[in-house]
Structure 1
Amino acid sequence: MTATDTNRGRATDTDTVTPTAISTPARRGTPPTGVFLAVIALCTAVTAANIYLAAPLLDLIARDLGVAPSAAGWIASVAQLGYAAGLLLFAPLGDTADRRRLVGALSAAAGVALVVAGLAPGLPALGAAVFAAGAATVVPQLLVPLVAERAPAERRGRHLGVVVAGLFAGVVAARVLGGLAGQAYGWRAVFLGAAGLTALIGLATAALLPAETRPRTKSDPPAVLKGVARVPRVLAASAEVRSACLRQGGMYGAWSALWTALALLLTGPGYGMSTGAAGLFGLFGLTASAMGPLSGGLVDRFGVTRVVGAAYVLAASSVPLFWLGGSRIWALCVAAVLLHAGLMTGQVANQTRALTATSSPAAANTAYIVAAFVGGAAASALAAPAYGHWGWGGVCAVAACWLVLGWLGAARRPGLTPRTGRAA
Structure 2
Amino acid sequence: MAPRPLAPAPNVPLLAVAGAVTVANLYFPQPLLAAVARGLEVPERTAGLIAPAAQFGYALGILLLVPLADTARLRRLTSVLLALTSAALLVAAAAPGVVTLALATLALSTTTVLPQILTPVAAVLAGPGRRGRVVGLVGLGLTLGSTLSRTVSGAVADATGTWRAAYAVAAVATAALLCVLPRRLPERLGAPGERGGRSYARLLAGLPRLLAAHRELRIPAALGACVFAAFSVFWAVLAFHLASPPLGYGPGAAGLFGVLTLPAALLSAVAGPLADRCGPTAVSAGGLVCAALGLTVAGLLPYSPVTLAAGANLLVVGVSSCQVANQARIFGIGRAVAARVNTVFMLATFGGGAAGSLVGTWLYAAYGWRAALLAAGACVAAGGLVTVVARARPAASTCVPVVRREAGGIRPRTPQGET
TM-score by length of 2: 0.81
SS of structure 2 residue aligned to 1:222: coil
- One-letter amino acid of the counterpart of residue 187, structure 1: W
Paired residues of 1:358 and 1:419 also in contact (CA < 8 A)? no
- One-letter amino acid of the counterpart of residue 246, structure 1: A
C-alpha displacement at 1:365, in angstroms?
2.9
Q: In structure 2, do the counterparts of structure 1 residues 287 and 419 end up closer, same or farther at CA, with 3 Å as the change threshold?
A: farther
Separation of aligned partners in 2, 1:423 and 1:98: 34
C-alpha displacement at 1:142, in angstroms?
3.5
Partner of residue 4, structure 1: none
C-alpha displacement at 1:146, in angstroms?
4.9
Separation of aligned partners in 1, 2:342 and 2:191: 26
5+ residue gaps, structure 1, are 1-17, 28-32
Partner of residue 28, structure 2: 53
Q: In structure 2, do the counterparts of structure 1 residues 235 and 68 end up closer, same or farther at CA, with 3 Å as the change threshold?
A: same
Give the root-mean-square deviation of aligned CA atoms.
Answer: 3.6
Separation of aligned partners in 2, 1:237 and 1:149: 21
Paired residues of 2:132 and 2:273 also in contact (CA < 8 A)? no
C-alpha displacement at 1:319, in angstroms?
1.9
- One-letter amino acid of the counterpart of residue 114, structure 2: V
SS of structure 2 residue aligned to 1:326: coil
- One-letter amino acid of the counterpart of residue 243, structure 2: T
Paired residues of 2:148 and 2:262 also in contact (CA < 8 A)? no
Paired residues of 2:156 and 2:166 also in contact (CA < 8 A)? yes
159-168 or 385-394: bigger deviation: 159-168
Give deviations 1:38-74, integer Å, cap 9, x for gaps: 6554433221110112111101111111122232112
2:303 counterpart of 1:327: yes
Separation of aligned partners in 1, 2:184 and 2:83: 16
Paired residues of 2:70 and 2:336 also in contact (CA < 8 A)? no
Separation of aligned partners in 1, 2:130 and 2:230: 35
48-57 or 350-359: bigger deviation: 350-359
Partner of residue 86, structure 1: 61
Partner of residue 377, structure 2: 400
2:210 counterpart of 1:234: yes
Q: In structure 2, do the counterparts of structure 1 residues 153 and 397 end up closer, same or farther at CA, with 3 Å as the change threshold?
A: closer
* Alignment of structure 1 residues 115-264 onto 2, 5 Å: 115-146=90-121, 163-185=138-160, 186-206=162-182, 209=185, 220=196, 222-264=198-240
- One-letter amino acid of the counterpart of residue 368, structure 2: G
Q: In structure 2, do the counterparts of structure 1 residues 356 and 205 end up closer, same or farther at CA, with 3 Å as the change threshold?
A: closer
Q: In structure 2, do the counterparts of structure 1 residues 214 and 245 end up closer, same or farther at CA, with 3 Å as the change threshold?
A: closer
Give deviations 1:242-273, integer Å, cap 9, x for gaps: 22212221111111100111111112222111
Paired residues of 1:245 and 1:368 also in contact (CA < 8 A)? yes
Q: In structure 2, do the counterparts of structure 1 residues 293 and 361 end up closer, same or farther at CA, with 3 Å as the change threshold?
A: farther
Q: In structure 2, do the counterparts of structure 1 residues 336 and 148 end up closer, same or farther at CA, with 3 Å as the change threshold?
A: closer
Separation of aligned partners in 2, 1:338 and 1:329: 14
Separation of aligned partners in 2, 1:161 and 1:396: 28
Paired residues of 1:291 and 1:341 also in contact (CA < 8 A)? yes
Give deviations 1:356-413, integer Å, cap 9, x for gaps: 4789863433222211111111101111111111111121122122223333356528
Question: How many residues of Structure 1 are paired with residues of Structure 2 in the alignment?
Answer: 396
Separation of aligned partners in 2, 1:395 and 1:212: 43
C-alpha displacement at 1:76, in angstroms?
1.3
Give deviations 1:288-315, integer Å, cap 9, x for gaps: 4333342234434544433332222221
C-alpha displacement at 1:333, in angstroms?
2.0
Paired residues of 1:291 and 1:345 also in contact (CA < 8 A)? no
- One-letter amino acid of the counterpart of residue 57, structure 2: G
36-45 or 208-217: bigger deviation: 208-217
SS of structure 1 residue aligned to 2:206: helix
293-302 or 41-50: bigger deviation: 293-302
C-alpha displacement at 1:241, in angstroms?
2.8
C-alpha displacement at 1:230, in angstroms?
3.0
Paired residues of 2:78 and 2:114 also in contact (CA < 8 A)? yes
Q: In structure 2, do the counterparts of structure 1 residues 395 and 143 end up closer, same or farther at CA, with 3 Å as the change threshold?
A: same
Partner of residue 85, structure 2: 110
2:274 counterpart of 1:274: no
Q: In structure 2, do the counterparts of structure 1 residues 213 and 280 end up closer, same or farther at CA, with 3 Å as the change threshold?
A: closer
61-70 or 191-200: bigger deviation: 191-200
Partner of residue 378, structure 1: 355
Give deviations 1:278-297, integer Å, cap 9, x for gaps: 21101244244333342234
- One-letter amino acid of the counterpart of residue 103, structure 1: T
Paired residues of 2:295 and 2:376 also in contact (CA < 8 A)? yes
Separation of aligned partners in 2, 1:334 and 1:40: 29
Q: In structure 2, do the counterparts of structure 1 residues 210 and 308 end up closer, same or farther at CA, with 3 Å as the change threshold?
A: closer
Paired residues of 2:133 and 2:276 also in contact (CA < 8 A)? no
Q: In structure 2, do the counterparts of structure 1 residues 306 and 41 end up closer, same or farther at CA, with 3 Å as the change threshold?
A: closer
2:355 counterpart of 1:364: no
TM-score by length of 1: 0.81
Q: In structure 2, do the counterparts of structure 1 residues 240 and 394 end up closer, same or farther at CA, with 3 Å as the change threshold?
A: same
2:49 counterpart of 1:74: yes
158-167 or 91-100: bigger deviation: 158-167
Q: In structure 2, do the counterparts of structure 1 residues 266 and 225 end up closer, same or farther at CA, with 3 Å as the change threshold?
A: same
C-alpha displacement at 1:182, in angstroms?
1.3
Separation of aligned partners in 1, 2:259 and 2:310: 13
Q: In structure 2, do the counterparts of structure 1 residues 100 and 298 end up closer, same or farther at CA, with 3 Å as the change threshold?
A: closer
